[in-house]
Amino acid sequence: MTELYWDPYDKTIDVDPHPIWRRLRDEQPVYFNDRFGFYALSRYEDVDNANLDHTTYSSAHGTVLEMMSDQPYGGAHMIFMDPPAHTMMRVLVSRAFTPRRISGLEDHIRKICSELLDPRIGTGGFDYVQDFAALLPSMVISELLGVDPADREEVRLLIDKTFHIEEGKGMINDISFAAQIELNGYYTEAIEARRTAPRDDLMTALTEAEMGTDEGVRRLTTSEAADFTGLLVAAGTETVARLLGWAGALLAAYPDERAAVAADPSLLKNAVEETLRFEAPSPVQGRTLHSDVELHGTTIPEGSKVLLLTGSAGRDGRKYSDPDTYNVRRQFEGHASFGRGVHFCLGASLARLEGRVALEETLSRFPTWEVDHDRAVRLHTSTVRGYEKLPIVV
């Protein structure tokens, strides 16, 4: 039996972390990594309970391991906040992401899919992530925000650059930083313009939304609204690209499942959920303990960094029967991949809609494909996992 070791940085482990996660669930459900100084919870029930107990498991110190600190962030970044401040920020936009609001985007999403996929018909193959999965989400979020059509290509390229990763430096590098500053300038200008000429879009809604604070009701400053816009873009782009990439890879690996979905599009909704369970696009979420936690005979002390292994929770045999089988007809009541409780993924409706429509439009044009695994490239950060390049032969 080899020594049981896991950390979120190791690229070799990341290729297939599931055997290690299974051992963590079975042998060390409260795992401690002394090299990087964090605990990890890997069972579904423990991850879910931690999501629901935001008072004990705080997000205010950051949620990505290399950016977690002893001190709270103190900014207005909703993902890195606890209630009640978190609640004030979240109500500003939660109504913009209701299922009915989001369902109004379906025709637009379908149209973008056609524009991206039609030129690929008869070409023999394309990169499912670079040429499709990575493009669709930023185009959709630009529509939702109200980015001018003339600016969308430029904005999309900038969004792409914000996700630039450098060996050894990860997400913190000059290319990403410069793109974030340029994008922030663009949002600032666009939001300022909406103060005098409101439109029917999310950037306008951010200028008009009111939040209750200790000092009374107030609106967001332009700088806060621009930061908020950047957050929505960052949260809604990369994760959906990874989800679609996983779907492209899994449906090729399980041709019977793909044939079932192609023959019966009513299975698509469940296929998206099964994909989210099977390979969580964001498999690791960090929390900081605000009090001691007693779990499985171990005391995790206050102040500890605790990583919630969302990707492991989806494979927990205590929750799911036959967890390592990808089954688009699986009957299940839910998964941990959008989280639960106060930080439940605000964009879940949008991600689900993009997933369903993208797969339907893919399968209607290309009912079968093969993945060129020799040329496929993985993408890995300490919080996101999936494919950067997924060449397919159609």
C-beta of 95 vs 199, nearer to other proteins? 95
C-beta of 79 vs 394, nearer to other proteins? 79
Give min distance, CB of 90 to other proteins, in A.
7
Structure tokens at 293: 């936690």
DSSP string, 50-77: HHH-TTTEE-TT-SSGGG--SS---SS-
Q: Give the H or E element holding residue 300.
A: strand 298-300
Structure tokens at 190: 């666009």
Structure tokens at 317: 């045999």
Give min distance, CB of 100 to other proteins, in A.
5
Q: Which of left, alpha, beta for 8 (phi over 0: left; psi -120 to 50: alpha)?
A: alpha
Burial of 90 (C-beta count, 10 Å sphere; 0-12/13-18/19+): middle
Say if residues 13 and 31 touch (Cβ distance below 8 Å).
no
Interatomic CA distance for residues 169 and 53, integer angstroms? 32
Q: Report the sign of the C-alpha dihedral through residues 270, 281, 159, 376, in that order.
A: negative
Measure the N-to-C terminal CA separation of the chain; round to a whole number of Å. Answer: 42
**Which residues sit at the interface with other proteins, rule CB under 8 A?**
52, 90-91, 94-95, 98-101, 333-334, 338-342, 344, 348-349
Give min distance, CB of 370 to other proteins, in A.
36
Give min distance, CB of 348 to other proteins, in A.
7
C-beta of 24 vs 88, nearer to other proteins? 88
Give min distance, CB of 240 to other proteins, in A.
18
**Nearest residue to 258 via CA among 352, 329, 193:** 329
C-beta of 35 vs 100, nearer to other proteins? 100
C-beta of 42 vs 51, nearer to other proteins? 51
Question: Residue 41: beta bridge partners?
Answer: 30, 308
Give min distance, CB of 333 to other proteins, in A.
6
Structure tokens at 305: 């960094």
Give min distance, CB of 343 to other proteins, in A.
9
C-beta of 74 vs 334, nearer to other proteins? 334
C-beta of 52 vs 259, nearer to other proteins? 52
C-beta of 99 vs 303, nearer to other proteins? 99
Interatomic CA distance for residues 335 and 274, integer angstroms? 9
Give min distance, CB of 272 to other proteins, in A.
14
C-beta of 31 vs 44, nearer to other proteins? 44
Give min distance, CB of 344 to other proteins, in A.
4
Burial of 167 (C-beta count, 10 Å sphere; 0-12/13-18/19+): exposed
C-beta of 55 vs 364, nearer to other proteins? 55
Interatomic CA distance for residues 143 and 124, integer angstroms? 31
CA triplet 246, 242, 347: central angle to 5 degrees? 120
Give min distance, CB of 94 to other proteins, in A.
4
Burial of 242 (C-beta count, 10 Å sphere; 0-12/13-18/19+): buried
Count other Cβ atoms within 10 Å, centred on residue 16.
9
C-beta of 22 vs 101, nearer to other proteins? 101
What are the CA-CA distances from residue 336 to residues 51, 52, 344 (Å)?
9, 11, 9
Give min distance, CB of 213 to other proteins, in A.
16
